[in-house]
Amino acid sequence: MGILIGLVVTLGCVLGGFMAMGGHVQVLIQPWEAVIICGAALGCFLVANPMKTVKDTGKGIMEAFKQSVPKEQDYLETLGVLHSLMRELRSKSRSEVEAHIDNPEESPIFQAFPTVLKNHDLTHFICDYCRIIIIGNARPFEIEALMDEEIQTIKADKLKPYHAMVAVGDGLPALGIVAAVLGVVKAMGALDQSPEILGGLIGAALVGTFLGIFLSYAVVGPIATKIKMVREKKNRLYIIVKQTLLAYMNGSLPQVAIEFGRKTISSYDRPSIDAVEQSTLSAGVADKKAA
């Protein structure tokens, strides 16, 4: 919704200002200029990126429009599943804990937190490092280095759509010039026409430059930035897991360890201590009933 409102405000101000100066909006309606610019941009995008990135870019655009960032419930469920797993690690045997992390889809712990279970990448991340903790011969600083490397890899993969969109945005002004040059070439073929016709052709050519710059800085660039913001907020869930499990490995109790994770959440989105405590207590009651 925010993107749509922003685009409406931007377009309204640009066109409104143009009309206030005495311009005629119909002059800006040059569909073939748009076909040249947008078609060339799409073609360059397909040339420069593998199909997996192309599909992920479409997914990233949808996430940006829907503002699909983690909400308080996502943070509470992430902390809740970590708390439950750490309690299992402290009180249960290795085989009992392995039953949860080897098959999380059938684990009552993960089933109690459907948002986490739905995020397959995050679930595998949690299970992988709980498995390493069970093994017992890895030191915390080694695990931290490994987590940092994996999180950096995940971040690089998730930001590929952002970099692809930025590259398209950077190229749009030049593609606008290409469309303008083609329009001028067409106008040069009509030099024997009246000044009114020739002026219209030149004006139509210049619309290409306008469209290229406008699409670059007012549409593609802001959407790319929005994709980056959404993906970075989603990546914060991995940081929460990292800090929580490292605190546990360094000797903190589960209830204290999840506080390390909670503190990595932005103050705008961070759930309160009471909300986290209530969430973990209710999860603990559910675990006992399941047992």
Mapped onto helix, strand or coil, the DSSP state of residue 228 is: helix
- The domain spans of the chain are 28-291
Q: CA dist 73 to 77, 109, 111, Å?
A: 6, 16, 15
Per-residue pLDDT tens digits for 17-55: 988 988 888 888 888 899 999 999 999 999 999 999 999
In terms of Cα–Cα distance, which of 110, 88, 109 is closest to 97? 88
Per-residue pLDDT tens digits for 230-267: 999 999 999 999 999 999 999 999 999 999 999 999 88
DSSP assigned state of 22: T
Rounded Cα distance, 245 and 146, in Å: 13
Helix locations, the chain, DSSP H: 2-20, 31-48, 51-66, 72-91, 94-102, 108-111, 114-118, 120-135, 140-158, 160-188, 195-214, 221-249, 254-262, 273-290
In terms of Cα–Cα distance, which of 270, 207, 181, 200 is closest to 233? 270
Cβ contact 60:230 at 8 Å: yes
Per-residue pLDDT tens digits for 48-85: 999 999 999 999 999 999 989 999 999 999 999 999 99
Identity of the amino acid at 142: E
DSSP assigned state of 215: I
Question: pTM of the entire structure?
Answer: 0.87
